[in-house]
A and B are shown apart, each in its own frame.
Chain A
Amino acid sequence: MSEIAPSAAAGMDDRTSWLAWKNLRPRVVPVLSILAFGLLWELVVLFAVINPVLLPPPSAVLARLFEMMGPGDGVAPSYLMLRHIGATMVALLGGFAIAALVSSAIGLMMGINRTAYEWLNPIISVFMVIPNIAVVPVIILWFGLGLHTVIIVVVMGACFPIIYTAAAGVQSCPKKMIWAAQTAGANKRQILFSVLIGATMPYLIAGHKLALGRAWRAVIAGEIFAATKYGVGFMIYDARTFLDSKAMFAGLIVVGLIGMTLERQIFGFIEKKTVVRWGVASSKNL
C-alpha cells in the first residue's frame, strides 16, 4: 500500500509527480473508464444510426434522469425518481433489517446447537440455490401485490447467506478460545456474547455483504412483479409500456449507482471499523 521505492538517482520532480500519479491513479482511472464507456455509447448511437428509442444516447438518458429528479412539468408527479428511489430503499432496508436480525439469530443457533444444524442445514442448502426471482410468483399468490410482498421477497433473498455464514462462523471458532473463556469463569451466556459473536464477526460481515447484494437484486425483481405505484424496478418495467426507453435507462443507471454505493461505502465503513482494524482480515478477502 505505502510503497516508497523510487530510485535514488531519480530527480525530486520526477519523484513527486510519480508519487502523485500513483496516489491518484486508483481514483482517476475508474472515472475515466466510465466516461470512456459513455462516450463510446454516445458515438455508437450517433454514427451507427441506431433507433434512439431502442438505445437512447447517454446525453438524453441523463437529461431524462435530471428531469425525473426535479419538480417536473406538472403532468407527471414531481420528484418522480426520488419517490421511486425512496420506495425502493424502504423495501430494501426494511427487508434487509428483518433478514439480518432473524437470520443472524438462526445462524448463531445453528452454529451452537448441533441438532439444529443437522436438521436445518439440508433445508437451507436447497433454498439457498433457488433463484430469488423464482419464488416471486408464489409470494404474490400468497400475499398479493404491494410493498409488503416486495419486502418478503427481499427477506427471502437476504436471509440464506447470513444464516449460512453465521453458522459457519460459530463453528470455526477455535475450541481453545472457548476453553480459555471457560477457564476464566465465563458462563454460557457470556461465552455466546463475549466470545462466539466476536469470533463470528468477520463471517457475519461477509454474510451481510453478500446478503445486501442479493437483497438489492431481489428488491428490483420484486418491484417489477409486485410493486403497484413506486419503486425503481417498477418504474423501469412501467416505462416500457410507454416506450419511454430514456426513463428505463435512467432507472438502470440509478440501480447501478445505488448498488455500488451500498456495497462499497456501507461495508467499506463497517469493515474499516471492525475486521480491518483488528487485523483479522483485509477487506479484499471478504
Chain B
Amino acid sequence: MSDATVTAPKIAARNIVKIYNHGTRNAVKAVDGLDLEVRQGEFVSLLGPSGCGKSTFLYMIGGFEKPTRGELLLDSQPIKGPGSNRGIVFQEYVLFPWQTVYRNIEFGLRVNKVPQQERAERIGKLVRMIGLQGFEDTYPATLSGGMQQRVALARALAYDPDILLMDEPFGALDAQTRSRMITDLIDIHQKTHKTTLFVTHSVQEALLLSDRVCLFSARPSKIKTIFEIDLPHPREITEDQFVAHERAIMESLEVEVSKTIALDKVEAG
C-alpha cells in the first residue's frame, strides 16, 4: 500500500452546494459550501438543528441525491449513484415486511449472487451479533422497534460494505432500547471498523459513539465546528471531559437552533 492510499480520505466533500428546485422561483439553498474529510474506519456524527441538511448530505453520500455544485469523492472517485460499497440504516427501519428476518438480512447477498453456503455462514454470524437467534423465521411486523432496527443494521452489514450510513437510526426507539443499541453499535464498530456516518439530533448519542462530531450550522448549512472526541470507550456520560464536550457542543448547537427558529418564522410569515 502506497502512502497516497493510506492518507487519502475515505470520503471527501469539497465545497458542496445543494439547491432544491434549482433554477425555479421556489429554489431553496439547503447546503452551502460544505467541506468534510472522513478517514477510513472513522466514526463521524453529523449533528445539527432540524432541516439543516445533514440527512441531505448523507443521502448525497448514499448516491440518492446529487450535489448541485462541489466535489463529492468516495475512495477518490466521484459518487455516481448508490452501490453496495455502502450500507444504509434509516430511522424508519424500512425492512421488507413480506420477508422473514433471515430473508431480509440475506437481501444484499442474494442480489449480489453470493453462494448459498457463504450466505448461511454470514447470516448466522450477524444474527448472533445482533442477538436475534431464534427469530430467523419471524416476520418483521411482529418484532419490537429495537429488534427491527437490529435487523436493518444486519441487512446493511451483510454484504460487507466499506461505509455504514445511519440516518437517525435510534430516533424512534425508547430510551432504554436506545442506550442498549448505542453500546452494541460501539461494539460492532470496534469489531468491523466500518467507516460510519451517523446523523443524529442527540448530543449525548453523538458523544458516546463518535471519533468526531460535526456540528452543522442553520441553513443554508455547512459544517460550523468539528469536535474531536478523544475519549476511550466505553464512555461515561458523567465523566468530566464528556460533560465539558457536551456543554461546548450544546452551546454551539443552541445558537444554530435559535437561528433556525428565526428562519422558520420568517419563511412562515
Which A residues have a C-beta under 8 Å from some C-beta of B?
A: 174, 176-177, 179-187, 190, 194-195, 198-199, 201, 274, 277-280
Docked-complex contact B111 and A186, CB < 8 angstroms = yes
With known contacts A183-B62, A183-B84, A174–B139 Cβ distance under 8 A = no
Interface-located stretch among B2-10, B94-102, B173-181, B253-261: B94-102
On chain A, the residues within 8 Å of B64 by CB distance are 179, 182
Q: A180-B155, A182-B83, A199-B96 are in contact. List 14 more A-B contacts (CB 8 A).
A: A176-B90, A176-B92, A179-B59, A179-B64, A180-B88, A180-B94, A181-B111, A182-B82, A184-B112, A184-B156, A187-B111, A194-B110, A198-B99, A279-B140
Query: Please, how many angstroms separate the alpha-carbon atoms of A176 and B99 in the complex?
Result: 17
| Bound complex: CA A196 to CA B82 (Å) | 18
Kindly state whether residue B108 has any CB partner on chain A within 8 Å.
yes
Residues of B within 8 A of A (CB): 59, 62-64, 81-84, 86-88, 90, 92, 94, 96-99, 107-108, 110-112, 139-142, 152, 155-156, 159, 161, 165
Q: How many Å lie between the Cα of A278 and that of B142 in the bound state? A: 8
Min CB gap A263→B, angstroms: 23
* Cβ contacts A to B, 27 pairs, < 8 Å: A174-B92, A176-B94, A179-B82, A180-B88, A182-B63, A182-B64, A182-B83, A183-B62, A183-B63, A183-B82, A183-B87, A183-B156, A183-B165, A184-B108, A184-B112, A184-B159, A185-B159, A194-B96, A194-B110, A198-B96, A198-B99, A199-B96, A277-B139, A278-B97, A278-B98, A278-B139, A279-B97
Cβ of B266 to closest chain A Cβ, rounded Å = 29
Least CB distance from B72 to A in Å reads 16
Question: Which of A179, A187, A198 is within 8 Å of B88, CB to CB?
Answer: A179
The answer to whether A184 and B155 touch across the interface, beta carbons within 8 angstroms, is yes
| Bound Cα distance A185, B107 (Å) | 10
Number of A-B contacts (CB under 8 A): 82
For the complex, what is the distance from the CA of A187 to the CA of B110, rounded to whole Å? Answer: 12
Given the known inter-chain contacts A194-B107, A194-B110, please indicate yes or no for A185 contacting B98, CB distance below 8 A. no
Chain B residues within 8 Å of A190, by CB:
111
CB atoms of A279 and B139 under 8 A apart: yes
Query: Do A279 and B141 touch across chains, with their CB atoms under 8 A apart?
Result: yes
